[in-house]
């Protein structure tokens, strides 16, 4: 290995260490930090972010990248490391370290305001903080050359190379098909799910979720699960990948599906090639591919009939009173009930993408100036009525339900729906390669599935761009056809369409 590559890796390792240290502070902020710790935490995150930024965009890194750009064979790990690092460097070079520090302080305060606003269901508490976040988003976009749409700059941070117009095109075709499917379901006899909303013991639900993800293959020697206001996964190293979860009394079994979802993210991170540790090749290649892993485990596995043919006797034993007289088929139909709902993370598969399309429209509106932050609650409620036929009774169940905007993560939401599409594309390929997959799931065996995902997706980390790895594994780029086939088949069976 060349001496210059060693020098570059040493610097990248230090940048990675600083980023992971900030992640530890972010995790602690959600899980453990006392209410008055926010201001100091913001300063700490700002300092780490500023140091990492200055270290990464140094002239030394630029010179090393320039010297190494033609040294390695195309397709080698070394060449891909230089390619990905160079792209990140060119982007980061445009963003002043002072901006990174300012953003850390603003978003930390915004997170604390969001927690309070959500708790009190009062958007006015969060509004001035979100306005500052949006101002910083506009400032961030100004650091880059103008694209076809200002939102392109933000989207590229989460889906490298993807354009706003591409996402809008995918969604416009998908929206029509999903709305048509929902209309057919509404005309059919509704399934019963009252037993899902009875009182369930929180600890028993929590423990059952942990038992499920243990069988999936989540490695507890390299992970843990804690409580937080919003479920998430965070990575400090390949050997320290953590998840958080929450318990909602009104939807108690959603804790199970959140555990499956976050473990999907975590198993991706745990499966990355250890050689990529402390380099820009560590971590998933994009949020859509990352989301494909979480949605695959949560929905294509966790909401499937074979899955519950295995686990239903166990959950019925844990909750005999709540599930008395309930059959596995009735339970399967209930957890897949299609009904417009207020909360995105609890939405069924047939309506979920409409939540994402709503948020995408609002984000684009905030970015291009056609929507003002002060008007978001009213716009949100209007679009919920238009898209899903329901209106939130308060801000907590409406515009304040998601954590992402408080952290400055604007440009992010479309990746959720794109992840759904990728999960279905992967699922079709997996079923071709693992002929008896349903039977394995029915027996509670997930090792072959996890091994396939490790081999085809996880191990590569950020080596391939998202569209490239989807093409490499499935034979086509991100496309909605497989997802539409999956939804149509599933709900035709459940609702007798």
pLDDT in tens, 271-292: 999 999 999 999 999 999 999 9
Residue 464's pLDDT is 95
Q: In what order do the strands lie in the sheet with 240-245?
A: 225-227, 240-245, 233-237
Respond yes or no: is residue 262 known to be catalytic: yes
For the domain bounded by 164-495, which CATH number is listed?
A: 1.10.1370.30
Look at residue 331 and tell me whether its pLDDT is greater than 80. Answer: yes
Look at residue 327 and tell me whether its pLDDT is greater than 70. Answer: yes
**Percentage with pLDDT > 90 across the chain:** 83
Strands 233-237 and 225-227: unpaired
Q: State the average pLDDT over residues 81-105.
A: 92
Q: What is the mean pLDDT of the chain?
A: 94
Residue 153's pLDDT is 94
Residue 230: pLDDT band (50, 70, 90) is: confident
Q: State the average pLDDT over residues 149-155.
A: 93
Is 334 in contact with 122 (CB distance < 8 Å)? no
**CA distances (Å), origin 389, targets 135, 189, 338, 384, 402:** 32, 18, 13, 6, 20
Is 481 in contact with 170 (CB distance < 8 Å)? no
**CA distances (Å), origin 41, targets 30, 31, 50:** 11, 13, 14
10 Å CB burial of residue 318 (0-12, 13-18, 19+) is middle
Q: Domains of the chain: which residue ranges?
A: 3-145, 164-495
Residue 186's pLDDT is 87
Residue 225's H or E segment, with its range, is strand 225-227
Read off φ and ψ for residue 240, nearest 5 degrees. -150, 85
Q: State the average pLDDT over residues 289-309.
A: 97
Look at residue 238 and tell me whether its pLDDT is greater than 70. Answer: yes
Range from 112-126, 129-143, 309-323, 333-347 carrying the lowest mean pLDDT: 333-347
Residue 104's pLDDT is 87
**Looking at 240-319, which runs of residues are DSSP E strands?**
240-245
Look at residue 345 and tell me whether its pLDDT is greater than 90. Answer: no
Look at residue 1 and tell me whether its pLDDT is greater than 80. Answer: no
Residue 6: pLDDT band (50, 70, 90) is: very high
pTM: 0.89
Look at residue 211 and tell me whether its pLDDT is greater than 70. Answer: yes
Residue 39's pLDDT is 87
Q: How far, in Å, CA of 303 to CA of 298, rounded?
A: 7
Q: How far, in Å, CA of 40 to CA of 252, rounded?
A: 35
Look at residue 120 and tell me whether its pLDDT is greater than 90. Answer: yes
Q: State the average pLDDT over residues 428-456.
A: 98
Residue 255's pLDDT is 95
Residue 192's pLDDT is 94
Look at residue 297 and tell me whether its pLDDT is greater than 90. Answer: yes
Q: Which entry of 112, 166, 262, 291 is annotated as an active-site residue?
A: 262
Look at residue 381 and tell me whether its pLDDT is greater than 80. Answer: yes
Residue 330's pLDDT is 97
Q: State the average pLDDT over residues 120-137.
A: 96
Residue 355: pLDDT band (50, 70, 90) is: very high
Q: State the average pLDDT over residues 172-193.
A: 90
């Amino acid at each position: 290995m060349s001496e210059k590559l060693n020098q570059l890796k040493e610097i990248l390792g230090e940048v990675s260490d600083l980023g992971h240290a900030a992640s530890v502070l972010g995790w602690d902020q959600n899980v453990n930090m006392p209410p008055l710790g926010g201001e100091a935490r913001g300063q700490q995150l700002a300092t780490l972010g500023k140091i990492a930024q200055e270290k990464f965009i140094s002239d030394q890194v630029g010179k090393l990248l320039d010297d190494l750009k033609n040294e390695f064979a195309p397709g080698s790990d070394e060449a891909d490391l230089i390619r990905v690092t160079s792209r990140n460097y060119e982007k980061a070079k445009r963003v002043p370290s002072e901006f990174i520090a300012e953003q850390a302080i603003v978003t930390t305060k915004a997170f604390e305001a969001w927690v309070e606003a959500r708790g009190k269901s009062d958007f006015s508490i969060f509004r001035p903080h979100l306005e500052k976040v949006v101002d910083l988003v506009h400032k961030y976009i100004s650091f880059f050359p103008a694209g076809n749409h200002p939102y392109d700059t933000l989207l590229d941070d989460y889906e490298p190379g993807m354009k706003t117009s591409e996402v809008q095109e995918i969604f416009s075709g998908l929206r029509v098909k999903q709305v048509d499917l929902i209309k057919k379901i509404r005309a059919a006899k509704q399934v019963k799910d009252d037993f899902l909303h009875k009182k369930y013991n929180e600890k028993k639900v929590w423990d059952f979720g942990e038992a499920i993800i243990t069988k999936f293959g989540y490695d507890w020697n390299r992970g843990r699960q804690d409580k937080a206001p919003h479920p998430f996964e965070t990575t400090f190293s390949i050997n320290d990948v953590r998840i958080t979860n929450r318990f909602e009394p009104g939807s108690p079994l959603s804790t199970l599906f959140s555990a499956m979802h976050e473990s999907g993210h975590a198993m991706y991170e745990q499966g990355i090639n250890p050689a990529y540790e402390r380099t820009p090749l560590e971590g998933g290649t994009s949020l859509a591919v990352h989301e494909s892993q979480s949605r695959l485990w949560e929905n294509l596995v966790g909401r499937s009939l074979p899955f519950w043919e295995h686990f239903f006797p166990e959950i019925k034993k844990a909750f005999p009173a709540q599930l008395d007289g309930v059959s596995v088929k009735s339970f399967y139909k209930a957890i897949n009930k299609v009904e417009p709902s207020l909360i995105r993370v609890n939405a069924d598969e047939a309506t979920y993408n409409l939540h994402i399309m709503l948020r995408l429209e609002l984000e684009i509106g905030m970015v291009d100036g056609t929507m003002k932050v002060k008007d978001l609650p009213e716009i949100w409620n209007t679009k919920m009525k238009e898209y899903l036929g329901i209106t939130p009774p308060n801000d907590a169940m409406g515009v304040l339900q998601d954590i992402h905007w408080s952290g400055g993560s604007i440009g992010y939401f479309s990746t959720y729906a794109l992840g759904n599409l990728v999960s279905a594309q992967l699922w079709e390929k997996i079923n071709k390669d693992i002929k008896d997959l349903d039977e394995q799931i029915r027996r509670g065996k997930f090792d072959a599935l996890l091994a396939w995902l490790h081999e085809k997706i996880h191990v590569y980390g950020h080596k391939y761009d998202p569209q490239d790895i989807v093409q490499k594994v499935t034979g086509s780029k991100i496309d909605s056809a497989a997802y539409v086939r999956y939804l149509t088949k599933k709900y035709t069976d459940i609702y007798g369409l």
